Structure 1
Amino acid sequence: MSAYVLVEVEVTDPATYEDYKQLTPASLVPYDGKFVVRGGAYETLEGDWKPQRIVLLQFPSVERAKAWWNSPEYARAKAIRQRAANTKMLVLEGFEG
């Protein structure tokens, strides 16, 4: 079943975050991950949610998403992101009904 990683990002160091953005795509490939949303415009429809940046990744399963997040391929990019941004991240099981 598909899984999604939903990320809310507050970039605190834009120059360093650019390095993260360059490294991340290649780290997704071995885990069959892909970007569904990568920044871009948004509009809040309900509530008081004003994220600076939203990213949505898709994986074939929760296990593959978690394997990517814990992977050596993503480790360098993750360390850069953790220095350059405040992040909230969820892994979500998709619905196939």
Structure 2
Amino acid sequence: MEAALFLFLWSARPGVSAGYFLRLLVRTVWCRGDLPLAFSSSVAGLGGYSMTAFIIGQMQIHSRDWMEEYFAKIPKVVEAHSGEFLVRGGEPEMMEGSDPLPDAAFILEFPDRAHAQRFWNSDEFQRLAVLRRSGSTLNAILVDKLA
């Protein structure tokens, strides 16, 4: 019903973009709670809405001295920032490419980029990162879930 009303209003208002009325429609439906929580600002063109984000990492381990303390503490730090380990471990298998396999890989899921970035930049994580860097190297990227 709102879509028909907004379409009618848009057609009656020359010079006003369809995007403007789409944003009004989305905001109206959002306020009612009919849109999924992961509705993307990049899709709707709206600020304040978010989508699931993932940190994907590949680690080369050079020594194991740091691992016990790090792996005992990192799950709680991830959870404190609304994150979750989806993948955590070793035995990566090459499917394609020629780069060396990492010793371990992980995928962390967060409600959105802001949560992932707050986690990564947090004092708690950065203290653990210093420990981890004492015996490993890490390549990590931040990506969004498809809408």
TM-score (structure 2 length as normaliser): 0.61
The farther-off stretch of 60-69 and 40-49 is 40-49
Q: Which has the larger radius of gyration?
A: 2
The answer to whether the 8 A contact 1:32-1:59 is kept is yes
Q: How far apart, CA to CA, are the structure 1 residues paired with 2:139 and 2:92? A: 17
Question: 1:17, 1:85 within 8 Å by CA — same for their partners in 2?
Answer: no
Distance in 1 (alpha carbons) for counterparts of 2:103 and 2:79: 26
Are the counterparts in 1 of residues 91 and 103 from structure 2 also a CA contact under 8 Å? no
Structure 2: 5+ residue stretches without partners: 1-50
What is the match of residue 80 of structure 2? 30
Match for residue 97 of structure 2? 47
Distance 2:132 2:92 in 1: 22
Q: Which residue of 1 aligns with 2:38?
A: none
- Residue-by-residue CA offset, 1:33-91 (whole Å, 9 max, x unaligned): 01000014332211124121111110011111010000122122111111121111111
Determine the structure 2 residue equivalent to 1:9.
59
Report the Cα distance in structure 1 between the residues aligned to 2:62 and 2:115, rounded to whole angstroms.
29
| Seq. identity, % | 26
Amino acid paired to 1:12: H
- Tell me what 2:146 maps to: 95
Q: Distance in 2 between matches of 1:77 and 1:14?
A: 14
- Equivalenced residues, count: 96
Q: What residue in structure 1 maps to residue 123 of structure 2?
A: 72
2:74 partner letter: T
Distance 2:138 2:115 in 1: 20
> Which structure carries more relative contact order (alpha carbon 8 Å, separation 6+)?
1
Contact kept in structure 2, 1:11 and 1:17, CA below 8 Å: no
Q: Relative to total residues, which structure has the larger strand share, 1 or 2?
A: 1
